[in-house]
Amino acid sequence: MPAYGMPFPPIRDFPGSDPDCARLSKPDSGCFRLNRTDPCIPRCIPIFPRSQGAKSAGCPGSYGERAAMSSYRNAKNVGYVMIGQGAISQLEEVLAPLRARGGQAVWFFDHFFTTSDLPKRLPVQDKDVIVFVDSTEEPTTDGIDAYTKQVKEGLEGALPCALLAFGGGATMDTCKCVGNLLTNPGRAEDYQGWELVKNPAPYKIGCPTLSGTGSESSRTGVLCNEVKNLKLGMNSDFTMFDQLVLDPDLSVTVPREQYFFTGIDTYMHCFESLSGSYRNVVVDSLAEKAIDLSRQVFLSADMMTAENREKLMIASYLGGLAAGFVGVVHPISAGLSMVLHMHHGIANCYALSVLEDIYPEQHSEVMGMMAKQGVSLKKGICANLTDAQYQQLYDASIVHEKPLTNALGPDFRKVLTPENVIARFKRM
Ligand SMILES: [Fe+2]
């Protein structure tokens, strides 16, 4: 199976693209620049409300002006991607040249695989280090520090030949962040932000077993810092995987509800991006295709056929590459995750379930998908909370200004008043 070529540089990590990062947004120049020599593709792709023109947003007009600014972003991508049923059987071949350089491999498995025979079917060697990642909760900075200590002890001071991740977003993010800490001093919290990682991480191979988060193709590893009450990723080119193996056989054992709620995250990210004001051609193109694939999967008779599991893996991969701005769903979802510790995917669905006035078409479509796949949301999750908890839910949602502005404009607070938002939570 040949590795798929990359069609286009990614655009990701726009300020505010991750609602979890709203507290540390980068300055927004209004322009995003690609390093691309193809004359057919604009080298400066404006990101601003559609009603504005490039010039008015300060985007350089002529080619010469653009070159003079010399601030085009040199966008990085995942190096190699192998896609298809059975692709994991080539893992040993992929690992061979890395092992030839010396060093152990470090394998991160979702704790779901503790009792699975998957590790035994992989080219794990006796000397390798195996880490089971507890994905019950989202990764934390303290958790990453602990996993890093465990890995360093297993490696006895040496660097590994490769890090490999088998799991969903939590496991992949853990692998990505531990990788950074093997070659950079300090603790995980030191690298929450943008471009703080200075040294390249060891070679990383991502093998998602659960599709939807886009972690496999993003340049961030999202971490909860409980002391700072801050959910923020290590955003860096060094955080990215070097190789992906997208094998739908790996997701065959995922429980149906988890498959749906995690998988639909891609649809959510992408429709929010396409519904917003901050747009560009690359993100739109990737997001449109990811949504198309998501529809093919979730509107089919059985979302978990081998063909559909492969389509969802590709949709998730494209969605991770797109990483456009999100909208109202993700901030409301973040409120649920912060206050009720709800998993991201199902929280997204609860959020959309009470946003029928803002996203009528998508609300109708996702509710239809859930009915089609026999997945449901238990009612009354916010029925008996205290006033203080309702206020916390509101605060944890409304803090995400960039996505909310993207969706509703700068006056979003006039729509999303405390009464309005709390009433939505009470309807869940
Ligand atoms: Fe998401």
Domain containing 288 equals 254-428
CA of 93 to the centre of ligand 1 (A): 33
Of 45 and 191, more confident: 191
61-110 pLDDT, tens digit each: 455 555 555 577 788 889 999 999 999 999 999 999 999 999 999 999 99
What global pTM score does this model have?
0.83
CA of 320 to the centre of ligand 1 (A): 10
Whether 233 and 324 map to the same domain: the answer is: no
Whether 265 and 119 map to the same domain: the answer is: no
Determine contact, residues 355/415, Cβ cutoff 8 Å.
Answer: no
Over residues 45-56, mean pLDDT: 36
Whether 198 and 214 map to the same domain: the answer is: yes
CA of 186 to the centre of ligand 1 (A): 29
CA of 269 to the centre of ligand 1 (A): 6
Computed over every residue of the chain, the mean pLDDT equals 85
CA of 336 to the centre of ligand 1 (A): 13
Q: Among residues 235, 251, 267, which one ends one of the domains?
A: 251
CA of 85 to the centre of ligand 1 (A): 26
- Looking at residue 186, what is its pLDDT? 98
Strand partners, 232: 223
Of 38 and 166, more confident: 166
Provide the percentage of residues in the chain whose pLDDT is more than 70: 83
318-370 pLDDT, tens digit each: 999 987 789 999 999 989 988 898 888 999 999 999 999 999 999 999 999 99
- Looking at residue 325, what is its pLDDT? 84
- Looking at residue 66, what is its pLDDT? 52
270 within a domain of the structure (yes/no): yes
59 within a domain of the structure (yes/no): no
3 within a domain of the structure (yes/no): no
Whether 241 and 279 map to the same domain: the answer is: no
Whether 229 and 292 map to the same domain: the answer is: no
Which CATH number is 109's domain given?
Answer: 3.40.50.1970
Whether 95 and 232 map to the same domain: the answer is: yes
CA of 43 to the centre of ligand 1 (A): 28
Whether 240 and 260 map to the same domain: the answer is: no
Whether 233 and 314 map to the same domain: the answer is: no
Residue 270's closest CA among 289, 292, 287, 283?
287
**H or E segment to which residue 222 belongs:** strand 222-225
Residue 32 has pLDDT above 70, yes or no: no
Lowest average pLDDT, out of 3-12, 94-103, 159-168, 289-298, goes to: 3-12
CA of 89 to the centre of ligand 1 (A): 30
Whether 268 and 314 map to the same domain: the answer is: yes
- Looking at residue 10, what is its pLDDT? 35
CA of 77 to the centre of ligand 1 (A): 20
CA of 81 to the centre of ligand 1 (A): 22
Lowest average pLDDT, out of 31-35, 252-256, 372-376, goes to: 31-35
Residue 399's closest CA among 385, 388, 386, 413?
413
Lowest average pLDDT, out of 48-57, 127-136, 369-378, goes to: 48-57
State how far the Cα of 279 lies from the Cα of 325, in Å rounded to an integer: 8
State how far the Cα of 176 lies from the Cα of 165, in Å rounded to an integer: 9
Whether 294 and 320 map to the same domain: the answer is: yes
Determine contact, residues 43/54, Cβ cutoff 8 Å.
Answer: no
CA of 327 to the centre of ligand 1 (A): 10
State how far the Cα of 206 lies from the Cα of 100, in Å rounded to an integer: 20
128-142 pLDDT, tens digit each: 999 999 998 889 999
297 within a domain of the structure (yes/no): yes
- Looking at residue 22, what is its pLDDT? 30
138 within a domain of the structure (yes/no): yes
Which CATH number is 351's domain given?
Answer: 1.20.1090.10
Cα angle, residue 322 at apex, residues 319 and 324 outer, rounded to 5°: 110
Over residues 49-62, mean pLDDT: 39
